[in-house]
A and B are shown apart, each in its own frame.
Chain A
């Protein structure tokens, strides 16, 4: 009780003292007291605050939690108050990263443009243009889609400092890859590059390319995420790798911090790594359906072509019939015809005496085509009409002069042999003119020099072979008129010998056969015929014919009933050509030719030929 009373008394004294101080010192007292207390407390706290925070932070993370909102607010206020100062502080940190990102993006863009340019020429680009047009896609977009083809084969999560592989994922193509070594080598290469180029810590190896494969390296705070890509490293691959790296660093901080070389502890990151194993193939056609529209178009086109072909064939048949009909008409010449879309035009030259052919021609064509007949009526007896027709119709190559008189067409100057042949086949011409006289004209052949030479040789041979030299009774010499024939014959033979120039295929032999009439004995006739042949032979040799070419043979009397006696007293000269002249010539040069045998063979052939002619 006493104690309680004492305490009560003491409390009363304190209150009284307090009241007394307030009455004496007033508000100043309170301020003075507060100042003294506050200064002392702040000083005391300032002395220990750093240590206290450090100690508490080691115990738990409540300091960080408590300070986080304060720091946020302070930062916000500071930025609002002076943005530039924050920029000045942050820029040296993030500036290089921004520059790197921008330059990387520009490089990627340049690479893409380069690839696009490379692929914008050639057959494939043409094909893609057509496909883009068919799909209604802009070509630039289409080619970009076409070019994006990639496959992420391997993903590595590497401890940044040690280069030890923390976790990895491979696709089905790289199940046996040694990821530990690859991981270490990547780090070693990175170290090598940094050392070799005196690079800073911020500058890291970003990409390694070998052939079609690229290793894209993304460096984080504590770990490196590398992806091995086959094909083009697309924006999608890069974005996904960066997102995965950030996500792992954010969500798996503890795992990363605690990693002690044991990959078993990193299982939690595997799904994120697997997410990076993306693959993109070429865009396939949405559905392989049969191109029915194309088939239909082709079918319609084929039908149309068939129909057009049939129509063309029909109308050509009708035109052929019409031409045939026109040619069958007297005194009508077809100057030309023309087929237009639904009209056939015939240009005719007609004598006034001939009738109108329109009705017959219309009947041939029916209602399908309109038939127009442009008939030029002219009196075909008038020379100028004919000359005009011939010149316009034939357009002669050599412009010969033509005259008409009493059913004869005279041609002068040069005329091409082909033009002459056409004239001879022209129904209108042949119906009007009985003769085409070219005696004053020179027919020019469009043949080659060799052909012309062969024709000349052939003409000459025929001319020589056609000659027969007739003798008076019992005479072995020719009378003057026959002598002149012999002279011409010798000249022709000389000419042939010159043209042949030793070619046995042209002039192989000159066979002279002597004949006698039926008078006298057979032996006498044989002798007579031999002397006659010799007479001709001697003359030929005297004129320069090669004696080796000449073979004479007495025939005596050969009974040919339809020849009179004079015609039987004759000598014939035949030019014989060797079919294998060169071979014969060679054998002859070697002196191995049995001439008598050859002569006998030649004679045998000739005799059988003459006998055939005689019997006929």
Chain B
């Protein structure tokens, strides 16, 4: 079976761990537990071409004070970049993380998720911002770890794209 290492990137408390839990274990908890270091989970995704075993590195959230440990990105075939739809400033961190990722991994695929889509009354992402991302080719996917909205889709999409990529060390 083909294995792919993927990394969850994003500011702290955007819901990276919840998305992984929802995807791998189909559970969601309102309790917030911050991730220290990295948590690794595994799930096999069945694609038309082949089965892919995703080794999901859920890396601790980054912000202005806590810089991401780029070593965790090493060898990743792709990333899932997550921002919080209720906190627009997490998008700023996302931009920095994409830069870091590209420095470390080169041109690897990533999917861009705007999470917490279930909290529509707190939603703070406007159309102008969305258009800007779309113009940059980021193609955001609205997800909710709580309801499971688009979670499978996001991981499957990344798995598809990583399959086309080689994981041979650059």
Residues of chain A at the chain B interface (Cβ within 8 Å): 159-165, 178, 180-181, 184-185, 188, 191-192, 194-195, 222, 257-264
Contacts and interface: CB of A to CB of B under 8 A. Distances in A.
B150 interface: no
Contacts of A261: 2-4, 77, 167
A260 B168 contact: yes
25 contacts: A161-B75, A161-B169, A162-B76, A162-B77, A162-B167, A163-B55, A164-B5, A180-B53, A180-B55, A181-B42, A184-B40, A184-B42, A184-B57, A188-B40, A188-B57, A191-B38, A191-B69, A191-B72, A192-B37, A195-B69, A261-B2, A261-B167, A262-B1, A262-B2, A262-B3
B103 interface: no
A264 B51 CA distance: 12
Interface in B37-81: 37-38, 40-42, 53, 55, 57, 69, 71-72, 74-77
A260 B162 CA distance: 11
B166 interface: yes
Given A165-B3, A181-B42, A258 B37 contact: no
Contact of B168 (A178, A185, A257): A257
Given A161-B74, A260-B167, A262-B2, 9 more contacts: A162-B77, A164-B3, A181-B42, A184-B57, A188-B37, A192-B38, A259-B167, A261-B2, A262-B3
Given A164-B167, A261-B4, A264-B1, A191 B42 contact: no
Interface residues of B, number: 24
Nearest to A263: B1
Contact of B5 (A163, A192, A222): A163
A164 B57 contact: no
Top 6 A-B residue pairs of the complex, sorted by shortest distance between their CB atoms: A162-B75, A191-B71, A161-B75, A161-B169, A184-B40, A261-B2
Contacts of A159: 75, 167, 169
The winner among A180, A194, A261, A263 for most chain B CB atoms within 10 A is A261
Contacts of B72: 188, 191
Contacts of B42: 178, 180-181, 184
Contacts of B38: 188, 191-192
Interface string B70-102: 011011110000000000000000000000000
Contacts of B71: 191, 194-195
B51 to A, nearest CB: 11
Interface in B1-55: 1-5, 37-38, 40-42, 53, 55
A184 to B, nearest CB: 5
Contacts of B37: 188, 192
A181 B72 CA distance: 15
A263 B3 contact: yes
A164 B40 contact: no
B169 A184 contact: no
The winner among A164, A165, A263 for most chain B CB atoms within 10 A is A164
Interface in B156-170: 166-169
B59 to A, nearest CB: 9
A159 B53 CA distance: 15
Contacts of A180: 3, 42, 53, 55
Given A159-B75, A192-B38, A261-B4, A184 B55 contact: yes
Contacts of A259: 167-168
Contacts of A263: 1, 3
Nearest to B37: A192
A312 B41 CA distance: 85
A237 to B, nearest CB: 26
Nearest to B76: A162
A260 B52 CA distance: 12
A523 B126 CA distance: 146
Contacts of A194: 71
B37 to A, nearest CB: 5
B68 to A, nearest CB: 10
A278 to B, nearest CB: 27
Given A185-B40, A188-B38, A188-B40, A260 B76 contact: no
Contacts of B168: 257-260
Contacts of A262: 1-3
Contacts of B55: 163-164, 180-181, 184
A258 B167 CA distance: 9
A226 to B, nearest CB: 15
Nearest to B169: A161
B157 to A, nearest CB: 18
A340 B4 CA distance: 95
A262 B51 CA distance: 10
A217 to B, nearest CB: 16
Nearest to A259: B168
B78 to A, nearest CB: 12
Nearest to A181: B42
